Amino acid sequence: MAYKKEDLIKKAHSMKSYAYAPYSHFAVGAVLQCQDGNIYTGCNIENASYGLTRCAEQVAVLKAISEGNKEFMAIAVCSSDKAFPYPCGSCLQILAEFAPDLTIYLSNGWGAEKEFLLSELLPYAFTLKEKEGK
């Protein structure tokens, strides 16, 4: 089943309610859509040892990979705040490993939306694969 952008954003907003964000108070939800139509959800999970915190995007990706799905087409990321939840560099690099042409939908807590290609947010992703002509 192919989900519409609006459906992914709505589901990502609902995932914010599962966030564990006692330190930042910045709840984030994510929904990752795969080529086969399956979706995988995530929310941010903070930890007192900040380095152990997991972003909503990472949770969704890890769930997809652990279920055998590595072909991603879009991700919606939504925040509880007025600020847009731009994926951090780590999340962008993880997503680039599997889907360098991924579409990223962002929505803030006020319902405003933005859309990007992953390559716009991370134009020089690290890769060990030789790229033709580069």
The per-residue pLDDT for range 109-120, each reduced to its tens digit, is 999 999 999 999
3 state SS of 113: strand
Is residue 115 in a domain? yes
Q: Give the residue from 51, 74, 63 showing the smallest Cα distance to 18.
A: 63
Tally: H helices and E strands in the chain = 4, 5
What residue type is 68 in one-letter code?
G
Q: Evaluate if residue 8 carries a pLDDT over 90.
A: yes
Q: Is residue 132 part of a domain?
A: no
- Is residue 84 a part of any domain in this protein? yes
Catalytic residues: 57
For the chain, the farthest-separated pair of C-alpha atoms sits apart, in whole angstroms, at 47
Structural domain span for residue 96: 5-121
Mean pLDDT throughout 91-106? 97
- Number of compact structural domains in the chain: 1
Q: Which residue has the higher pLDDT, 83 or 131?
A: 83
Residue 129 — pLDDT band, cuts 50, 70, 90?
Answer: confident
Residue 130, domain member (yes or no)? no
Q: Let me know if residue 31 belongs to a domain.
A: yes
Rounded to 10°, the helix 89-98/56-66 angle is 30
What global pTM score does this model have? 0.93
Output the domain CATH number for residue 87: 3.40.140.10
DSSP state of 59: H
Is residue 92 a part of any domain in this protein?
Answer: yes
Task: Tell me if 99 is assigned to some domain.
Answer: yes
In a domain, 134, yes or no: no
What φ, ψ does residue 113 adopt, rounded to 5°?
-130, 150
